[in-house]
Structure 1
Amino acid sequence: MKCGIFFVSMSGNTEDMADMIEAEVKTIDNTVKVEKHEMDEVEAGELTGYDVIFLGSYTWGDGDLPYEAEDFYDELEDVDLSGKVVGVFGSGDRDYPHFCSAVDMLAERAEKQGARTVPSNVKIELAPDTEEDEEQIRALVKDCMKSPVTSK
């Protein structure tokens, strides 16, 4: 099985989450090949090479995708994710009206493209530094890894 983690991070919070996801995947199954990529350095079409996919983004401003994720998000519209399991994670700030809406946007796009998303998508206030945050990440990885699909 091959797992891809695609993320954008400005302050390092979402990158920390990506690192935690990578470590948890390896804890569950150390035979899984895990690769991490920053969204602005790859084409969205590369997702087709993975069985399990994690998409991560912080939410910018009043509920927007950050500019580093915009091209990747737009390219996703042309990618068939049928047969893929996708988990989404991100950081945000509750001081803004749309907390972690980038997570919802990415999950909706992945579903629209045929992926099976999991209900345990993770939205974390700023840095992932509590036991509850760690538990959310463990649950996300467990949900994604327990039953990868081969077709939709």
Structure 2
Amino acid sequence: MNAHVVYASITGNNEDIADIISDQLKKHDIDVNETEISQTDAEELLDADICVVCPYTYDEGALPEEGMDFYEDLQDLDLTGKIYGVAGSGDVFYGDDFNKAVDEYGEAFKAASATQGAENVKIDLEPVEEDVETLAAFTDKLVAAAEK
């Protein structure tokens, strides 16, 4: 089984989240490809059993500019049979716009007919020990869903 983890990060927090998820997947003997969103073609997800996106939310709810092509192309794919998860870092300072990109990427996966393997994870700023545990549980659910 294999997974593709895609991240967009300005501060490094989402790259850290992607690294944690990738490490957890490897503990399950999953082959992992981890890439930065601007260097990733959405069609690469067609080769993965598990697809994960770790986006940031910019300013007042905007998606990562460098990931707009990926986001738009993602919605046009047919990811039937693929398991997905979305986890990202944001800042609760932005209130209702906190981690809005996480939900928008979740909707894009649904539009592509992928199956949600775990609830979206929203982390405030950098991941701390408690978040590492949350991401481990997130990853366990993704793997369990893919093994069904």
TM over 0.5: yes
In the alignment, structure 2 segments of 5+ residues that lack a partner are none
CA distance in 2, matches of 1:44, 1:67: 15
Identity fraction in percent:
37
Instruction: Number of aligned residue pairs: give it.
Output: 147
Counterpart pick for 1:136 among 134, 137, 140:
134
Partner SS, residue 6 of structure 1: strand
Cα distance in 1 for partners of 2:8, 2:78 equals 22
How much does 1:141 deviate?
0.3
Q: Within 1, Cα distance between the matches of 2:141 and 2:26? A: 14
Q: 1:47 to 1:67 in 2, by over 3 A?
A: same
Verify: 1:75 aligned to 2:73, yes or no: yes
Partner AA of 2:93 in structure 1 = D
Match of 1:17 in 2: 17
Mapped partners of 2:82, 2:75: distance in 1: 15
3-state SS, counterpart of residue 91 of structure 1: strand
List runs of 5+ in structure 1 lacking aligned partners: none
Amino acid at match of 2:67: A
TM normalised by structure 1 equals: 0.92
Q: Work out whether residues 6 and 55 of structure 1, in 8 Å CA contact, stay in contact via their aligned partners in 2.
A: yes
Query: C-alpha offsets along residues 104-133 of structure 1, whole Å, 9 cap, x if unaligned?
Result: 00001101110111342210001002x321
2:117/2:145 contact within 8 Å kept: no
Task: Report the equivalent of 2:117.
Answer: 118
* Alpha-carbon shift at residue 85 of structure 1 (Å): 0.3
- What letter corresponds to residue 64 of structure 1 in structure 2? A
Deviates more, 1:116-125 or 1:51-60: 116-125
Q: CA deviation at 1:78?
A: 1.6
Q: Cα RMSD between the aligned structures?
A: 1.3
Provide the rounded CA distance (Å) in 2 between the counterparts of 1:70 and 1:121. 20
Q: Which has the higher helix share?
A: 2
**Residues 30-109 of structure 1 correspond to what in structure 2 (within 5 A)?**
30=29, 32-97=30-95, 98-109=97-108
TM-score (norm 2): 0.94
